[in-house]
Structure formats: structure tokens, C-alpha cells
Amino acid sequence: MLLYLEKVEGSLVGKNDNLYTPKEELFRCILTLHSLLENPPGDFPDSIRQEIVNGIAKIFSLVRDEGKVSRKLIECVNTYLLKDGPNLGSSLLEIHNSVQTFVFRCWMVTHDRALKDALVLYGRLQISLTRGADDESILIEQLLDVLYKELDQSSIFSVGVPWSDANKDDKFGTLSSSHCGLVELAAAVLYRACVTSTKAISTEKRVKRDPASVHLKEALGEGKWLWNAAFCYLIQNYHSRISKDLFTYWFEAICLGFERYLGFTVVDLSFYVIKLFVLLPPLF
């Protein structure tokens, strides 16, 4: 495994230095590395864990462009997180520090659907594994930046090419597997953002923005399609861990939207929506 990490790194160094490195040979090395990470002979021993993390960091310091090579490399990272993530501890942050430039540079601009799916899966894995207030705060802020943009696109026809293939299911608002992964990630990040204090790092100059709970309320009031889908996942996956006062706050925004579109009063709608919410938890 360490041998193939070194081979991939060496091939990328040669590629960036304009030395001859057959692309297919590099890709075969990455495929072998992925297979070794996916099917290790046993648990990853402590003696090589840090070397794997260091190898990932070196490789991603050399990744410049998106393509099948970089897509397979992020899939390697995802596979390693799936296999050994719970044992990594602070090394999770080391991995994130090494891949974050590539991840967030490509997130909103890639036209590669498989790469976008891999990036979303990376976010889901990291948010489920990361612990510690400072580490979690950084990750949540970064993910909120891209997720707000994704969800604000609201129409399935504009979630990034080629996510916008207009087949029959799309026209009827059916969530594709890619959209399901995206809104499930959004629900997880919104949950963590709403129940955790996500203070901005003092050394960073960040634009001050509304809390995630307020941003969600405003989006629900506007009836944005993907925000509504993320809210459904939020209810389904986290209803028992979020206060009913917060859910009432969000449902009021939905009621206001109904009032605008249908002419009902907020008082009438809120009574029935809140009553429905009280009955929802036993159904999940």
C-alpha cells in the first residue's frame, strides 16, 4: 500500500515537471491503490496509519486539475475514511487540510457528475467522523458555503451540468441518487450548525452571515425546491434531537409561504402544521 502511495506521488511529480509519465500507467497505480485500501488484509496497523495520511497529503499537494485521475484519488480518500475513519482521530483534520483546496475548488464548477458525487460523499464522511469544536466549526463553515449555493439553485435543471439531464423523473421532481446524497449531506450539516456553536476562526476574515437556522427559515419561506428536500431529510433523520420550538420556527416560514400562494392565514395553517409535527415523531 505504501509502495503504491509512493508510485502515485512519483508519477504526479513527473507529470507536473513535464516528464514522461503515461497517464494510463498512473491510473493503473491509483486503481491498485484503491483496491488495496478497499480490501486490506486486516485492520490498518498503527505503524502505517500516519504514513498513509502523509502519503495522501503529498499526493493532493500535487493534484492540479480535475479528471479521472483526481476523481479516483478522492474515491481513494473516501474508501480510506470508510475503512479506517473512526480510528484516525486528529489525522482526519490532516487529511482534510490536504484535500480541501481541491475539494472546494472543484465543488461548484465541475461538470463531472461522478466527481461531484465523490465530493458530496467526502463531505458526508467527514461530517460524520469529525469531533472537536474547532475542527467541526471549520468543516461546517466550509460546507455551508458550498451547500447554500447548491440549494439556492432550487431547480433540478440548474444543479450543475450534467446533473440537469431533463428526463421524465426530473420533470416530476423526483430526487436522483446524486440529489439524495446532496440533500442528506445538507441535512447533516444544517443539524450540526443549528445545535453547535459555529464560531468563525478569529484569524480568518469571514463575511458575517445569519445563523443556519435563520437561513433555513428564509429559504423555506421562499419555497426553494432543494431546501425543501433537505428540510424533509432534517425532519426524518434528526427530529428527535432538535427542539420543537426550532421546528415550529421553521414551520411558521412554510405557513407564510402558503399564505402568500394560497391566501390562507398563518394562524389557520400553523395550527394544523404544528399539530401534524407533534404526531410525526412516532411515524419515523
* Confidence tier at 187 by pLDDT (50, 70, 90): very high
Task: Pick 47 or 171 by higher pLDDT.
Answer: 47
- In the three-class reduction of DSSP (H, G, I as helix; E, B as strand; rest coil), residue 196 is classed as coil
Any domain includes 270? no
pLDDT exceeds cutoff 80 at 241: yes
Average pLDDT on 34-44 reads 90
CA distance 133 to 30: 34
Q: Which run of H or E residues covers position 137?
A: helix 133-152
Query: What's the burial of 126, exposed, middle or buried (CB within 10 Å: 0-12/13-18/19+)?
Result: buried
Section 51-59 average pLDDT: 96
Ranges 69-73, 85-89, 130-134, 156-160: which has the least confidence: 156-160
- Report the mean per-residue pLDDT for the chain: 81
pLDDT confidence tier of residue 110, bands split at 50, 70 and 90: very high
Kindly state whether residue 239 falls inside one of the protein's structural domains: no
Q: Is 200 left (phi over 0), alpha (psi -120 to 50) or beta?
A: beta
CB contact at 8 A, 173 and 156: yes
How far is Cα 262 from Cα 255, in angstroms, rounded to an integer? Answer: 10
Q: What percent of the chain has pLDDT over 70?
A: 75
Amino acid at 202: S
pLDDT at 162 exceeding the cut of 90:
no
Domain encompassing residue 91: 1-131
The number of helix segments (H) and strand segments (E) in the chain equals 13, 0
Q: Is the pLDDT of residue 246 over 50?
A: yes
pLDDT at 177: 87
Tell me the CA distances in angstroms from 231 to 145, 168, 190, 214, 220, one per residue in order: 17, 24, 9, 13, 8
User: How much is the pLDDT for 149?
Assistant: 93
Does residue 44 belong to any structural domain of this protein?
yes
pTM exceeding the 0.85 threshold for the entire prediction? no
What distance, in Å, lies between the first and last C-alpha atoms of the chain? 43
pLDDT for the residue numbered 252: 86
pLDDT at 176: 84
Would 118 be classed as within a structural domain?
A: yes
Rounded distance between C-alpha atoms, residue 25 and residue 210, angstroms: 49
Find out whether 116 and 159 touch, Cβ atoms under 8 Å: no
Residue 161 phi/psi, 5° resolution?
A: -70, 140
Better pLDDT: 276 or 215: 215
Residue 184 located in a structural domain:
no
Report the pLDDT value the prediction gives residue 13, as an integer from 0 to 100.
85
Please indicate, yes or no, if residue 146 is contained in any of the structural domains.
no
For residue 277, name the pLDDT band (cuts at 50, 70, 90): low
Q: How many domains does the chain have?
A: 1
